[in-house]
Amino acid sequence: MFFRDIAGHNTIKQKLINSVKMNRVSHALLFTGPEGNGKLSLAIAYAQYLSCENKNDNDSCGKCVSCLKYGKLIHPDLHFVYPVIKTKSYSKPVSVNFIKQWREFISESPYHGFNKWMIKLGIENQQAGIFAQESEEIIKQLSFKPYESEFKVMIIWMPEKMNISASNKLLKMIEEPPPKTIFILVAEDTDKIIKTILSRTQLVKIPRISEQTMFESIKEKYNFTDEKIKETVNIADGNFLKAEELLKNNENKAGSENFKKFAQFMRNAYGIKINNMISQAEDIAKSGREAQKDFLSYSLKLLRENFILNISPENQNKILFLTDNEKIFSEKFNNFIHKNNIRQLMNEFNEAYNHIERNGYNKLVFLDLALKTARLLKIKPQ
Ligand SMILES: [Zn+2]
């Protein structure tokens, strides 16, 4: 990881680099700040810089043996601790059990979040944490001299998820650190970290990414219109992880398939083209149940957004997050979605969703929905 991989934070990067140049590296640091601001990547970039054998003024060289190992996150003097879960294979899980997923997680993007990590581990509703057994693992890993670098670095991501016994053992290690060892804690919620740890670490506050920086960084990486990027930046509110998700949805192929279906469905209904309605109902019924539900959820979303557009056209650029195609379509379509029919339309689409879920006769459900929609689109706004 390089400093240049992370958008913005130039003053902080410079301070970190100076601390290395001036030989003033603290043995325990705490990077804090909101989700999606690149703080975990900054910690890794800092560790890589420390260990680089041929440092530039602004970043690691990327070519030395140390940098090459850091690039794959396999450097023997770099250690990670992060929340993990119990599985069938690991009843007392520790971080190294999940190192493969972790390396992928770090490499996928410079921006990280707890939920994204949980998805990577393939779970949603299980308690993840840093458990007591982890502290023994830390002691074991740090009990050797650095193998190849001057320092060993232990990066602890989300220390707020540490249980109390692990926290106390970590505190002891920070108070009496093994020689040549640097701890970098990376946290979002410092209220949940024990006070004694807070008081013994040097705090590095890392703020949200500014709108201007995010705009420039997205423009450099992605191929979207300025207008689309501005919308994304507005919604993401300094969280680069969120911005990436929004941009990905925008590229999402399923999304554009649903849009095509929706536009066709509405045109058929508005023109009362019965034959087209029947053949589209047949087509939709042929797709899987999940695809059908997905189409209905998508339709509900687009109906809702068109209603918002209808009642407050001045908010067009602020509230709505629509792809360019959806936007062009909605410019006219929103005139037909108003306070006199929105509730009934939403009801009918919800009803269809419930029928599909309960194994309804799908073709008839969609034909019936098309006919009802045709009637509702004819209702006048006044
Ligand atoms: Zn290097």
Q: Structural domain boundaries of the chain?
A: 3-207, 214-251, 253-377
What is the pLDDT, as a whole number, of residue 319? 53
Query: Distance between CA atoms of 162 and 179, rounded to whole angstroms?
Result: 24
> For the chain, what percent of residues have pLDDT higher than 70?
96
Confidence of residue 228 (pLDDT cuts 50, 70, 90): confident
Q: Please check whether the two domains, 3-207 and 253-377, share a CATH topology.
A: no
Q: 156 CA distance to ligand 1 centroid (A)?
A: 23
Q: 5 CA distance to ligand 1 centroid (A)?
A: 15
List CB contacts of 212: < 8 A, sequence separation 6 or more.
none
Instruction: Please compute the mean of the pLDDT values over residues 331-337 and round it to a whole number.
Output: 94
Residues with CB under 5 A from ligand 1 (ion): 52, 60-61, 64, 67
Residues forming beta bridges with residue 130, ordered by sequence position: 162
Least confident segment among 19-33, 101-115, 332-346, 354-368: 354-368
List CB contacts of 379: < 8 A, sequence separation 6 or more.
340, 341
Please tell me the class of the 253-377 domain: mainly alpha
Comparing CA positions, the residue from 195, 168, 192, 202 lying closest to residue 31 is 202
pLDDT in tens, 87-97: 888 999 999 99
Query: Distance between CA atoms of 16 and 88, rounded to whole angstroms?
Result: 41
> For the chain, what percent of residues have pLDDT higher than 90?
62
Q: 147 CA distance to ligand 1 centroid (A)?
A: 16
One-letter identity of residue 191? D
pLDDT at 287 over 90: no
Per CATH, the homologous superfamily of domain 3-207 is: P-loop containing nucleotide triphosphate hydrolases (3.40.50.300)
Confidence of residue 323 (pLDDT cuts 50, 70, 90): confident
Q: 72 CA distance to ligand 1 centroid (A)?
A: 13
Q: How many CB atoms lie within 10 A of CB 155?
A: 21
Q: 1 CA distance to ligand 1 centroid (A)?
A: 11
Instruction: Give the three-state DSSP class for 162.
Output: strand
pLDDT in tens, 27-69: 999 999 999 999 999 999 999 999 999 999 999 999 999 999 9
Q: Contact at 8 Å (CB) between 153 and 49? A: no
Q: Give DSSP secondary structure letters for 172-205.
A: HHHHSPPTTEEEEEEES-GGGS-HHHHHTSEEEE
pLDDT in tens, 152-205: 999 999 999 998 888 898 888 888 888 889 999 999 988 888 888 999 999 999
pLDDT in tens, 304-313: 889 988 988 7
